[in-house]
Structure 1
Amino acid sequence: MTIPLRRLTAATLAALLAGASLAPQAFAQGAQAPSAAPASDGPKTPLPAPTPRAPQPGGDRRAAPDPDWPCIQPKVGALSYGQMWSGAPLEQALETWRQDEAVADLVPVIVARRTKPEELAAELDTFAKAAGAEKNAKLTLLFAGAFEELNTTRSAILTGIERYARKQRTLSEKIKQESLKLASERKDMATQNSPEFQQKEQERDWDTRIYDERSQALTYVCESPVILEQLAFTLGREIQARMD
């Protein structure tokens, strides 16, 4: 199973970040494991230490030193609204935006990545017109809600990425130990030709395949926090453009 990086659904992304493993279920359902590697081959996946790193564009750049942060993109913690909002302070708005029904209904729409730019512009125009004299206050509440939702989602993704990296590191070590054991047992011709040895090779190759596919998916997952940050900047700009 190869995961199309640009077409991961929200459910798939959540499963990946939770470290869901497909191997046990696949074997239980009779799925065919990858063919065993020739006797002279080692594991298909390089096993860097201490932490597996997803292949990333610009791989010559230095990655973050945190062993639980596998992305080439620098790790940035919780966002600050001051980076993207030049209006009134949002402390009160962050606490009260859900009390406004129109704001609470629109926030999920404008933070959804499936919402197209022209749809976003139309939604904001309609909202600003309906707000009338309270336009500035309502738009402030709207950005506060959007910012909080994006920041919360982004923080959850950061935590998931770190958990994902730890699981990858554990799987990498497992593949390494499996490969060393197989290399030792391969010296005995009788053992090498046994069904038990062939099964062990299949399991090692399956683990390697899972590791590779998760690494490919991580390339996309690592972009998600940056995309959400860019969306927050876009919303801040678009909402403020409609204020007096």
Structure 2
Amino acid sequence: MKNRMAMIAAVIMLAHGVAQAADPRYPDWPCIQAKVPEISLPAVWAGPPIDDVANAWKEDAEVVALVEQLASRRVPIEQARKAAADFLARSNDKVKFGKLVFAGLFDSLNAQRSAVLNGLERVMRKQRDAVEKIRTDTAALQAIQGAASPDQARIDELNNQVLWEARIFDDRRRVVAFVCEVPTIIDQRLFALSRTIQQEME
């Protein structure tokens, strides 16, 4: 019982910070890392303008397949860089295809980032709801425990319920800490592949 209550108390203390956003512009942002809503093109691309290719990369099946491969975080970055370099090495127009590949990567990885950012903020909202539920159920548990004739069955039920809610909260917190690193990983991947593409275009 003491261990259970200690865990619940620890989670409630951790939950105290859930309502406090690090950046008031993004009240649902749960990470200590600053939220950058999208990748800035000049931050990752010093090659020729890509305005003229727009969504044209989607019209070339080979480029689409390559972009999907390069954008997948399951593909090691060195393998991805080699695939990009090999593709451009055999291309008959390195500038054109380099721009197409990069435009596809830029679109795809920005979309990945947006999905991750939105997911993190959804989890933050769930965590706030979880905090309120834990507080409500803990208050109800304490009230029953303090009653003249405590209902032991109800005490056990609420105690198990609060413990379960606390575990879910803590599990989510651990996952969020890991996922908060993903936007930076995506940024680094795009920057590394951008450099490879630009080198092959020269």
Q: Do these two structures clear the TM 0.5 threshold for a shared fold by scoring above it?
A: yes
In 2, the alpha carbon distance for the partners of 1:188 and 1:103 equals: 70
AA of the residue aligned to 1:183 = Q
Query: Is the partner of 1:191 in helix, strand or coil?
Result: coil
Q: Say yes or no: does 1:78 pair with 2:58.
A: no
Equivalent-residue separation in structure 1 for 2:144 and 2:162 (angstroms): 14
Higher relative contact order (CA 8 A, sep 6+): 1
Cα distance, 1:215 vs structure 2:
0.2
Q: Structure 1 residues 215 and 50 mapped into 2: Cα distance closer, same or farther (>3 Å)? A: closer
The yes-or-no answer on 1:101 pairing with 2:61 is yes
1:131–1:138 CA contact under 8 A, matched in 2: yes
Partner of 1:118: 78
Alignment pair present for 1:91 and 2:59? no
- 2:171 match: secondary structure: helix
2:116 matched to which residue of 1?
157
Task: Say if 2:199 is the partner of 1:225.
Answer: no
Partners in 2 of 1:241 and 1:122 — Cα distance? 12
**Of 13, 16, 31, which residue of structure 2 is paired with 1:48?**
16
After TM superposition, the structure 1 = structure 2 runs for residues 24-39 of structure 1, keeping only pairs within 5 Å, are 37=2
Which letter does structure 1 place at the counterpart of 2:36? V
User: Counterpart in 1 of 2:168?
Assistant: 210
Summarize deviations over 1:147-189 as a string: whole Å, max 9, x none: 1000011011111111110110110111011111211211136
Please say if residues 77 and 155 of structure 1, whose CA atoms lie closer than 8 Å, have aligned partners that are also in contact. Answer: yes
Structure 2: which 5+ residue stretches go unaligned? none
Contact 1:43–1:205 (8 Å) recurs in 2: no
**Greater CA drift, 123-132 or 201-210:** 123-132
Q: Which residue does 1:169 correspond to in 2? A: 128
Distance 1:135 1:180, change over 3 A: same
Amino acid paired to 2:108? E
2:19 and 2:48 map into 1 onto residues whose CA distance is 43
CA distance in 2, matches of 1:96, 1:189: 74
- Structure 2 length normalisation: TM-score? 0.89
Larger fraction in helix: 2
Contact kept in structure 1, 2:18 and 2:124, CA below 8 Å: no
Q: CA deviation at 1:98?
A: 0.8
Q: Any unmatched runs of 5+ in structure 1?
A: 1-35, 54-62
Residue matched to 1:187: 146
Question: 1: distance between equivalents of 2:62 and 2:124?
Answer: 40
CA distance in 2, matches of 1:79, 1:39: 44
Cα displacement (A) at 1:190: 3.5
Counterpart amino acid of residue 168 in structure 2: I
- Specify whether residues 40 and 118 from structure 1 end up closer, same or farther in structure 2 by C-alpha distance, changes over 3 A only: closer
Q: What do you get for the CA RMSD once the two structures are aligned?
A: 2.1
Q: Give the 3 Å change call, closer, same or farther, for CA 52–190 of structure 1 in structure 2.
A: farther
Question: Given the two structures, how large is their TM-score scaled by the length of structure 1?
Answer: 0.75
Aligned-residue offset at 1:92: 2.9
Equivalent pair of 2:18/2:127 in contact (CA under 8 Å):
no
Moved over 6 A (4+): none
